[in-house]
Chain A
Amino acid sequence: MPVVMDADRIGRTLTRIAHEIVERNKGTDDLALVGVRTRGVPIARRIARTLREITGQDIPTGSLDITLYRDDLMRHAVGPQPLVRKTDIQFSIDNRKILLVDDVLYTGRTTRAALDALIDYGRPKAIQLIVLVDRGHRELPIKADYVGKNLPTAPEESVQVRLLEIDGEDEVVLETGGGA
């Protein structure tokens, strides 16, 4: 199980992304962060913290649960329903630039669901996508604006992002499929 990012690397990467955000948006006016549950949420909070250190401004941060928007709900016998968690966006997204945050970009289907979910909350000025890892194999025309690490993978492999807030440690691991 090769570790492809350790805690230091994750920290530096998120700092770099925060700087890219400030550069690209010429500051942080009208920005808001929305993390996709589960692991996009702590990543969004960390980026918000770094942005505050850089600019001195607080960026509104929320969390989005996309379960009810999944395209595989009810579609085939996938088994019981996935657990629905609460979406928590305590600010209006109208006319803001929303930075959507997820841990891994893979088929793009989660992002598609997240875009649909976000639009139900209002009409943002723009949506930009931040991912810690882009592992390729897109099934939809979706592209990230900020990528922590491009990681070429085989479809049978799986990328596990572990974060301090949820898993007790920071690391990204590439697991080979098939065997355990």
Chain B
Amino acid sequence: MSTTSQELDQKQAVTTLRRKDLLGIAELSPGEIELILDTAEAMKEVGTRPIKKVPALRGKTVINLFYEPSTRTRTSFEIAEKRLSADTLNIAIGTSSVVKGETLADTALNLEAMSPDMIVLRHASSGACHFLSRVCRSAIINAGDGMHEHPTQALLDAFTIRERKKKLAGLKIAIVGDLLHSRVLRSNIHLLTKLGADVWVCGPPTLIPTDIRRFGVTATSAVEEAVRDADVIMLLRIQLERMEGAYFPSLREYFRVFGMTEARMHLAKSDVMIMHPGPMNRGVEIASEVADGPYSVILDQVANGVAVRMAVLYLLAGGAEHEEAA
């Protein structure tokens, strides 16, 4: 945990994002993360105006290339791009040449021949964004790659926590659910530990990755232990579509043992925040009373997603040009 470069950049405020792509949280320094969160605060104000649009990315073209279904993330990126005046287009695999057998690299290079400035990629394979960033000149933003990372989700989660709690350092954050298949978990672990939170992860033993403790988190299968005195409880979706075997007896059994009920929630601090990246399986990882209850910030997370994505798009738009110039 003693990374001197991280300590260094916390002393002098980071004011720029000197990178072409946002591939994951793993590569970011704490200072860069805080720069994105600070910029997102300014971007959030844009969404409160009568005219919700600023000219910052005028003339920039952004392609949203989604190889997996998505409602929230794709819409959120599109709104963020439009509020910054970028020209956007959405490509969903169902209607594209991918169904005719085109590879990811070929699709991307063909799109790139039309000179977009940024490509937002969601893909089922871990590492797809890293691969594309080596092939493409455009800035690549990871909107979720397989079981690897979902950086903008972690950033909006951190933004939402910071907005309420004013800080992340020292908070007890319990993440409960399908740890094995979750890219949201991986990005969140990187981000929350970099900013000094006390991260607990919890799920059935079959869904806990073996090396998870290496990332500086506490892992347990006792949900009561994970949520006791927690400042934040984050639920993760049980990703049935990524499961090939039987990881637990049944969804009802899962809910009985791990589901977030009001009784379990009350073990946490009295001002606990309940978070979920969506889409929710009500009655599986979370009870409806909790999801819709007064402690839930699930819809705030969605609202903040737009501001955080605006910040990322804005900061990367400068970073890419800088790199070319240098």
* Chain A residues with a Cβ under 8 A of chain B: 65, 67-69, 73-74, 77-81, 83-88, 116-117, 120-122
Contacts and interface: CB of A to CB of B under 8 A. Distances in A.
Nearest to B324: A77
B17 A80 contact: yes
Nearest to A73: B56
Contacts, number: 72
A87 B318 contact: no
30 contacts: A65-B42, A68-B54, A68-B55, A68-B84, A68-B314, A69-B54, A69-B55, A69-B56, A74-B57, A74-B59, A74-B321, A77-B321, A77-B324, A80-B16, A80-B318, A81-B16, A81-B17, A81-B314, A81-B317, A83-B15, A83-B38, A83-B39, A84-B314, A86-B42, A86-B45, A87-B45, A120-B49, A120-B50, A120-B51, A121-B49
B282 interface: no
Contacts of B41: 86
A79 B325 contact: yes
A85 B39 CA distance: 7
Contacts of B42: 65, 84-87
B264 interface: no
Interface of chain A: mostly helix, strand, loop or mixed? loop
A81 B59 CA distance: 16
Nearest to A122: B50
A74 B39 contact: no
B130 interface: no
Minimum-distance CB pairs A-B, first 3: A81-B318, A80-B16, A77-B325
A77 B324 CA distance: 8
Given A83-B15, A83-B38, A120-B50, 4 more contacts: A69-B55, A80-B16, A81-B16, A121-B49
Q: Give the interface centre of A67, A84, A117, A120 by most chain B CB atoms within 10 Å.
A: A84
Contacts of B17: 80-81
A74 B58 CA distance: 9
B18 interface: yes
B4 to A, nearest CB: 23
Contact of A79 (B39, B43, B53, B322): B322
Contacts of A83: 15, 38-39
A16 to B, nearest CB: 34
B315 interface: yes
B137 interface: no
B278 interface: no
Q: Give the interface centre of A68, A116, A117 by most chain B CB atoms within 10 Å.
A: A68
A74 B50 contact: no
B228 interface: no
Interface in B189-224: none
B322 A68 contact: no
A122 B84 CA distance: 18
B146 interface: no
Interface string B30-45: 0000000011011101
Contacts of A81: 16-17, 314-315, 317-319
A84 to B, nearest CB: 4
B165 interface: no
A101 to B, nearest CB: 19
A74 B54 CA distance: 14
A67 B46 CA distance: 12
Nearest to B46: A68
A135 B39 CA distance: 31
Contact of B50 (A78, A84, A87, A121): A121
Contacts of B50: 120-122
B277 to A, nearest CB: 26
A120 B54 contact: yes
A31 to B, nearest CB: 21
Contacts of B314: 68, 81, 84
Given A69-B55, A86-B42, A120-B54, A74 B15 contact: no
Contacts of B18: 80
A68 B56 contact: yes
A31 B149 CA distance: 50
A80 B55 contact: no
A74 B315 contact: no
A80 to B, nearest CB: 3
Nearest to A94: B50
A74 B318 contact: yes
B90 to A, nearest CB: 22
A179 to B, nearest CB: 26
A168 B43 CA distance: 29
